[in-house]
Amino acid sequence: MLAGNSIGKEFTVTSFGESHGKIVGAVVDGCPAGLRLAEADVQAELDRRIPVKPKIVSGRIEKDKAQILSGVFNGFTTGAPICMMVENKEADSSDYEAIKDLPRPGHADYTAHIRYGGFNDYRGGGRFSGRVTVALIMAGAVAKKLLRAVDADVLAYTKSIGKIKMDRTPSFEEIQKRRYETAVRCPDLACAEKMEEAIVNARKEGDSLGGVIECIALNVPAGVGEPLFDSLDADMAKALLAVPAVKGVEFGAGFGAAELKGSENNDAFRVQGGKVVASTNNAGGILGGLSSGMPIVVRVAVKPTPSIAKEQHTVDVAKMKDAAIKVKGRHDPCVVPKAVPVVESAVAIVLADHMIRAGLIAKVLKERK
């Protein structure tokens, strides 16, 4: 049994399925009744997973077809659990038999083998595969629709790949319009080209790259969050660190705040148009675990893809001997582009949960009926 597959208190998401099993999917419970929801909404989000350029992603390009099995009637959510899934049609397990006793360095093969006594489905990384993030994207599609019903939104984009950085801050409009136009999901077209080149070069060398994704949530009213342990930032960090390959999370000035003085880091308040705003946003829109009303800004560090073609040292866990491994199969030379909609979804799921807990979403749905 794998416990720990659900997240959320009032808007809950349970993820199920393995990379090379029959299906992957999610059950969303606690979605208020009366939200217009169609398979096409979920499909549109799923389609964002796969950048159009096969050069920079794995050969596993699945034409996933979203299915909603329950919780929707006559085009609206009913308030019952929403079960969503896609079939795994493109799974090819042949490369995994040869390395089933050779844990890939950097992947979860060794830790899963120990934890589940060898019974875990190792094919394609099983539960630990990036493929499982499809569940987050499907649940995120519901969460995003809920947020948009109250005029909030979540946008993520690629900030850096390896050492190539987008060092200016794009406008919300630019992120919204351009992020899915480039294969790497970076809204700066010139920077995106350099990022693509870096990924192609890493792949040629049998290697991989990581990067940074920034996510911005807009129009979240002040006061959302449940301190202490369900602080908005704590819950977001938990959801984001559950995304495979995410190794770090920071809000606003993040680790940079450690080098600032209080006078530099504090976001001075002022009144603008009858509302309290801050002149800067080093806090990333969260103070004391509660939203401040400023945009929520969170960044995640994504590590380089563990499965690489270069030879590496490992062990044979059956023979308990040192061994070497060259990972074959269809792997992304950089998972950042595919992880952009996943990060967006993880943040949207946590926000939907907290905004329902704050009584902000159910009320609006009723009013709009």
Ligand X SMILES: Cc1cc2nc3c(=O)[nH]c(=O)nc-3n(C[C@H](O)[C@H](O)[C@H](O)COP(=O)(O)O)c2cc1C
CB 359, min distance to ligand X, A:
33
CA dist list (Å): 344 to 93, 155, 264: 30, 6, 29
Closest CA to 25 of 10, 8, 39: 39
CB 321, min distance to ligand X, A:
23
* Stretch of 115-123, 217-225, 265-273, 335-343 contacting ligand X, by CB under 6 A: 335-343
What is the rounded distance in angstroms from the CA atom of residue 207 to the CA atom of residue 198?
11
Residue nearest ligand X, Cβ-based: 130
Closest CA to 314 of 103, 107, 109, 97: 103
What is the rounded distance in angstroms from the CA atom of residue 66 to the CA atom of residue 42?
6
Out of 281, 307, 314, 345, the residue judged to bind ligand X by CB under 6 A: 307
Out of 77, 120, 291, 305, the residue judged to bind ligand X by CB under 6 A: 305
* Stretch of 182-190, 196-204, 332-340, 344-352 contacting ligand X, by CB under 6 A: 332-340
CB 108, min distance to ligand X, A:
4
Number of C-beta neighbours around residue 325 at 10 A: 21
Which is closer to ligand X, CB of 129 or CB of 292? 129
40-59: contacts with ligand X (CB under 6 A): 58
Out of 184, 215, 239, 245, the residue judged to bind ligand X by CB under 6 A: 245
243 near ligand X, rule: CB under 6 A: yes
Which is closer to ligand X, CB of 135 or CB of 283? 135
210 near ligand X, rule: CB under 6 A: no
At residue 158, what is the residue type?
T
CB 241, min distance to ligand X, A:
8
Which is closer to ligand X, CB of 129 or CB of 314? 129
Query: Which segments within the chain are labelled E, that is strand?
Result: 6-7, 12-17, 23-29, 67-68, 72-73, 76-77, 82-87, 153-161, 164-165, 211-218, 246-251, 269-272, 275-278, 286-287, 290-291, 296-302, 312-316, 321-325
Out of 25, 71, 130, 170, the residue judged to bind ligand X by CB under 6 A: 130
Which is closer to ligand X, CB of 91 or CB of 278? 91
Helix (H) or strand (E) holding 336: helix 336-357
107 near ligand X, rule: CB under 6 A: yes
Which is closer to ligand X, CB of 159 or CB of 354? 159
128 near ligand X, rule: CB under 6 A: yes
End-to-end CA distance of the chain: 41
At residue 53, what is the residue type?
K
20 near ligand X, rule: CB under 6 A: no
Instruction: Please tell me what DSSP assigns to residue 274.
Output: T
Q: What is the dihedral of CA 227, 232, 237, 240, to 10 degrees?
A: 140
What is the rounded distance in angstroms from the CA atom of residue 362 to the CA atom of residue 122?
41
CB 45, min distance to ligand X, A:
13
Interface contacts to ligand X, rule CB under 6 A:
58, 107-108, 125, 128-130, 133, 243-245, 303, 305-307, 331-332, 335, 338-339, 342
